[in-house]
Amino acid sequence: MPDSRVPRLRRFLVCEPRHFAVQYSINPWMHPDTPVDVDLAQDQWQELIRAYRDHGHTVETVEPVAALPDMVFAANCALVLGGRVLGSLFHAPERRAESTAYDAWFENAGYEVYRAESVCEGEGDLIPTGRFLLAGTGFRTTREAHRQAQEFFGVPVISLQLVDPRFYHLDTALFVLDDGPDGNIAYYPEAFSPGSRAVLARLYPDAVIATRDDAMAFGLNSVSDGRHVFISPRAKDLADQLARQGYVPVPVDLSEFQKAGGGIKCVTQEIRS
């Protein structure tokens, strides 16, 4: 079975955690009195970048800004689909200036950026599946932003209600394993409202279901290329499930970033041209 999984080479945009810190609290994971080891964060981030490149993926970087400690979480900056860029409007005032820095990178790279008109936190809550966009709401991105994304990309949007503040972004509770027409996902059902759980069960009857322990270990804040799954090493049960289904787990420890409520996917923006 492992040989049946075919990776698709990706292009990622990331931001070095040169100024990473927990200076405020905008989610339940963040405690400003908890010290951050910036050197360790740098080492962990570099390990992830090496892992991406070792598996053939292209990685580009945006220059970090000193006053923006969360800028490392590149996934939140935009959604790029079909070469079109929907820029973010952050919920927290502390993060809003990040959009300017990322928009400038995209514009310098030749993209036209459309800035969301309602609170929208990019790939944190908007996840392409190949057939449609899965879109989270409840804590950050608004349903109005879901409507805007559908109009902008011309892709059907499936709105999903998040109910547990520890899973404040969709990408902390769900990730796409394969993004083709017959693709699959992994997710933690208890992060969603009953109706949203029913929708996911209907759309993905063969989904990989994560345990609470694996979800709390940021195992669902993973990145898959269709074969290799870059995943938290503490999400052991989830990794075992994936291996049994023919995926190849690639453990990368980003535990320092969990102090800010982030993980592998949070620091990874995919550029889909």
Q: Is 77 a catalytic residue?
A: no
Output the CA angle 124-126-131, nearest 5 degrees: 145
Instruction: Please tell me what DSSP assigns to residue 248.
Output: E
Catalytic: which of 57, 91, 146, 169? 169
Residue 60 has pLDDT above 60, yes or no: yes
pLDDT given for residue 1 in this prediction? 47
122: left (phi over 0), alpha (psi -120 to 50) or beta: left
Q: Is 15 a catalytic residue?
A: no
Per-residue pLDDT of 85-104, as tens digits, reads 999 999 999 999 999 999 99
State the Cα–Cα distance between residues 170 and 215, nearest whole angstrom.
12
Catalytic: which of 15, 77, 120, 266? 266
Label residue 243 by pLDDT band (50, 70, 90).
very high
Where do the domains of the chain lie, and which CATH numbers do they carry?
Answer: 2-270 (3.75.10.10)
Per-residue pLDDT of 212-231, as tens digits, reads 999 999 999 999 999 999 99
State the Cα–Cα distance between residues 268 and 20, nearest whole angstrom.
15
